[in-house]
Amino acid sequence: MTTPLRADAARNRERLLAIARAAMTEGDLALQLNDIARRAKVGVGTVYRHFPTRRALVEALADGAFATLVDEARAASRHDDVWTGVEILLRALLLRQVADPAFAEVISTGPDQDATATTTEHREQWSAAARVVLERARQAGVLRPGLTDDDLHHLVCGTAFALRIGDEPTLRIDRYLRVLLDGIHAAERNGVNSGTAGLQARRARS
C-alpha cells in the first residue's frame, strides 16, 4: 500500500504537475526536471523525489487521461451495437491523444518503457477492453478482414499525428475519424456506406 504524502509534499507534487502540464501545453515537450524545479521554485532534489525520471513525470501527467480512457473502453465493450462500440473506442483514443500530449507520448510506446506499475496496469486494462470491442466487431463481420489490433492502434496514432499538424485540431476530429471509420468498415469492401447505417443495411439483407 502506498504511503500517503505529507500535506506539504502533496502540495509540492501538485505544483510540479501543474507547471509541467502548462509547459507541455505551451509546446515544451522536453520537460527537463531542472527547469521544472526552477519554475516551481523548489530544489531539484524535491522534483527527483517525486519523479525520478522525465518518463515518470510524463506518466503522472497522463494518469488521469489513461484512467478515463479505460472507463470509456469498458463502456464501449458493453454497447449494444458493436460498430458503435468501435466508434466510441477509437474516438476516445483519438481525443485523448489530441488533447493530452503526455498521454499521446505514453500510449505511443510499449510497456517496456513504463516507469510505473500504474501505467502498465492502465495499459493492460485498456488492451483487455479494446480486445473485447474489436473481437465483437470481427464476429459481427463489420470490421475489415485482416486488420489486427496493432494495425488499428497505429492507424489511430497516425490520425492523431495528422490532426496535430495545423491549427485547431479538435475542429477536424470528426472529419478525420469518419475517414478512418470508413476505411476499416468491412462494408466498404462492397461499396456500402460505413457506420451504424451500413451495419443496419447488412442486417436487413440477411
Per-residue pLDDT of the chain (206 residues), as tens digits, is: 455 567 777 888 999 999 999 998 888 888 899 999 999 888 999 999 999 999 999 999 999 999 999 999 999 999 999 999 999 999 999 999 999 999 999 999 999 999 999 999 999 999 999 999 999 999 999 999 999 999 998 999 999 999 988 788 888 999 999 999 999 999 644 444 444 444 344 344 33
CATH class of 1-52: mainly alpha
Check residue 3 and give its pLDDT. 56
Give the model confidence (pLDDT) of 72-108 as tens digits.
Answer: 999 999 999 999 999 999 999 999 999 999 999 999 9
Give the model confidence (pLDDT) of 47-62 as tens digits.
Answer: 999 999 999 999 999 9
Check residue 200 and give its pLDDT. 46
**In the chain, where the domains are located:** 1-52, 62-205
Check residue 165 and give its pLDDT. 87
Chosen CATH of 62-205 out of 3.40.190.10, 1.25.40.10, 1.20.1050.10, 1.10.357.10: 1.10.357.10
Check residue 168 and give its pLDDT. 83
Check residue 52 and give its pLDDT. 95
Check residue 4 and give its pLDDT. 59
Q: CB-side exposure of 193: number of CA atoms within 13 Å?
A: 7
Q: What is the pTM for the complete model shown? A: 0.82
Which residue is associated with the grid cell 509540492? 12
Check residue 33 and give its pLDDT. 92
